[in-house]
């Protein structure tokens, strides 16, 4: 029988099971006994019902496929992590599947329960779930990137968020600023918490009391950066400096400063966290905390590939890789 003419019914007949059972096996569902699953997979391979490579992968449970799960594929930070992942995956003989969840926990769950989620060899995860218990339920080798839970059971690759924010605020203070504002998002994950902590510690160590009116908190989104910066600059006692705690908030802050006809680096000083295209092309260029985004993807994927290949070895305590950041000093901070 030509493999082009073989249908799922042929597989079911040869394996002496129902079409529904074959479908459950193909989709990785649990309602099939091990003996039946093995028999169906054997027939699939013998009949060449699917391409040989896929049939073999279903039998040996290796697909040579890695998945990268990110909240937003349009954010340059996530794109850079993906680039680093693809570079290593290709070098090591793996394909890469990219999933953008739009920050939706349900989409994340649905992917992990889907045929694709169940049949990748490993996962690079920048998660949207806020509870460690969700990550503990993942049954695949997984590396958490950027966002991490200490008791999740997985290795992680992140950057020193605290140090980045701390150095940014210290730079403001060295230039004579005292009314220093921060615009940030929800503190659901370690990155946001650590950046706010770095802001507070730098202020307190310099004898400056953080003013609650100078902390604007919203969503991690460009329009929120615009709104919060506008509110700060139109207040009765505006700040002389603003720390935008991620790249999209910084873009919104730049737009707000421009629309208020204020001069960046003269009327208001600004530091952002992460590079963004506006920060490099406005005049003066914006001082930013630069993190090794592509390197985060590279190191996470190298770690994941080792785990996949050494799956038979006993797993030790989860490991956290913390990469350093750099303050790129440009012209957006005025000396008071």
- Would residue 225 be called left, alpha or beta, if left means φ above 0 and alpha means ψ between -120 and 50 degrees? alpha
Instruction: Tell whether pTM > 0.75.
Output: yes
208 and 320 together in one domain: no
Residue 232 lies in a domain: yes
Among 33, 60, 87, residue at a domain's last position: 60
Listed residue (322, 315, 309, 303) closest to 142, CA to CA: 303
Cβ–Cβ < 8 Å for 270, 287 = yes
Q: Which residues contact 5 (CB under 8 A, 6 or more apart)?
A: none
pLDDT on residue 2 = 47
One pLDDT digit (tens) per residue for the chain, 336 residues = 444 567 778 888 888 998 888 877 776 556 778 888 888 888 887 887 754 445 445 554 567 889 999 998 888 889 999 999 999 999 998 989 998 888 888 888 888 888 777 788 999 999 888 888 888 888 889 999 998 887 777 899 999 999 999 999 999 999 999 999 999 999 988 899 999 999 999 999 999 999 999 999 999 999 999 999 999 999 999 999 999 999 999 999 999 999 999 999 999 999 999 887 777 778 899 999 999 999 999 999 999 999 888 765 545 678 889 999 999 999 999 999
Same domain assignment for residues 166 and 246: yes
Q: What pLDDT score does 12 carry?
A: 87
- pLDDT score of 20: 81
CA-to-CA dists, residue 50 to 10, 55, 121, 156, angstroms? 12, 6, 19, 36
Q: How far apart are CA 127 and CA 147, in angstroms?
A: 7
pLDDT computed for residue 51 by the predictor:
43
Residue 1 lies in a domain: no
327: enclosing H helix or E strand: strand 326-328
- DSSP per-residue letters across 278-315: HHHHSSSPPEEEE--HHHHHHHHHHHHHHHHHTTTSPP
Q: Which of 122, 151, 164, 71 is nearest to 112 (CA)?
A: 122
> Domain range holding 278?
161-292
Q: In what order do the strands lie in the sheet with 65-70?
A: 95-100, 65-70, 122-125, 142-145, 155-159, 320-323
- CATH value at residue 317: 3.40.50.2300
Point out which residues pair with 170 in neighbouring strands: none
Residues 167 and 150 in one domain: no
Give the pLDDT confidence score for residue 111 in this predicted structure.
85
Q: How many structural domains comprise the chain?
A: 3
**Do 217 and 171 belong to one domain?**
yes
Could you tell me where the beta strands, DSSP code E, fall in 37-141? 65-70, 95-100, 122-125
Half-sphere exposure of 106 (CA within 13 A, CB side): 0
Q: Does 2 map to a domain?
A: no
Structural domain contains residue 332: no
Based on the domain organization, do 155 and 302 belong to the same domain? yes
| Helix, strand or coil, per DSSP, at residue 61 | coil
Would 170 be classed as within a structural domain? yes
Contact residues for 120 (Cβ-Cβ < 8 A; gap 6+): 63, 65, 66, 67, 97, 140
Flag whether 13 is in a domain. Answer: yes
Residues 186, 282, single domain; the answer is yes
Any domain includes 336: no
DSSP 232-243: HHTSSS--SEEE
Q: Is 30 exposed, middle or buried (0-12, 13-18, 19+ CB in 10 A)?
A: exposed
CA distance linking residue 199 with residue 204, whole number of Å: 9
**130 and 180, same domain (yes or no):** no
Q: 108 and 26 in one domain?
A: no
H or E segment and range at residue 216: strand 215-217
Residues 175 and 260 both lie in one domain: yes
Helix (H, G, I), strand (E, B) or coil at 132: helix
Residue 331 lies in a domain: no
Is 143 in the same domain as 233? no
Same domain, 97 and 116: yes
CATH number for the domain spanning 23: value is 1.10.260.40
Distance CA 41, CA 37 (A): 6
- Nearest alpha carbon to residue 318 among 194, 136, 183: 136
Q: Are residues 165 and 287 in the same domain?
A: yes
């Amino acid at each position: 029988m030509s493999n082009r003419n073989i249908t799922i019914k042929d597989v079911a007949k040869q394996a002496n099971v129902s079409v529904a059972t074959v479908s459950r096996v193909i989709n990785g569902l649990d309602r099939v006994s091990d003996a039946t699953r093995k028999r169906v997979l054997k027939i699939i391979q013998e009949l060449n019902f699917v391409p040989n490579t896929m049939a073999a992968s279903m039998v040996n449970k290796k697909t040579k496929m890695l998945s990268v799960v990110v909240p937003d594929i349009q954010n340059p930070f996530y794109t850079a992590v993906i680039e680093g992942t693809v570079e290593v995956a290709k070098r090591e003989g793996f394909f890469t599947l990219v999933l953008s969840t739009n920050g939706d926990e349900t989409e994340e769950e649905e992917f992990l329960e889907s045929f694709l989620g169940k049949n990748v060899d490993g996962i690079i995860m920048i998660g949207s779930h806020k509870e460690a218990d969700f990550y503990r339920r993942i049954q695949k080798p997984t590396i958490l990137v950027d966002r991490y839970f200490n008791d999740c059971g997985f290795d992680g690759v992140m950057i020193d968020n605290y140090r980045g924010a701390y150095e940014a605020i210290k730079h403001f203070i060295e230039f004579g600023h005292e009314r220093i504002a921060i615009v940030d998002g929800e503190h659901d994950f370690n990155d946001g918490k650590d950046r706010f902590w770095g802001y507070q510690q730098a202020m307190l160590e310099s004898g400056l009391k953080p003013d609650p009116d100078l902390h604007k908190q919203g969503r991690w989104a460009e329009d929120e950066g615009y709104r919060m910066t506008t509110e700060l600059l139109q207040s009765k006692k505006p700040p002389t400096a603003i720390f935008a705690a991620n790249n999209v908030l910084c873009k919104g802050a730049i737009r707000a400063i421009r629309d208020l006809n204020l001069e960046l680096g003269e009327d208001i000083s600004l530091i952002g966290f992460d590079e963004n295209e506006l920060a490099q092309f406005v005049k003066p260029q914006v001082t930013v905390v630069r993190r090794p985004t592509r390197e985060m993807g590279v190191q996470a994927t190298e770690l994941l590939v080792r785990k996949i290949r050494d799956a038979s070895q006993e797993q030790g305590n989860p490991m956290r890789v913390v990469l350093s950041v750099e303050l790129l000093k440009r012209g957006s901070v005025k000396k008071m």
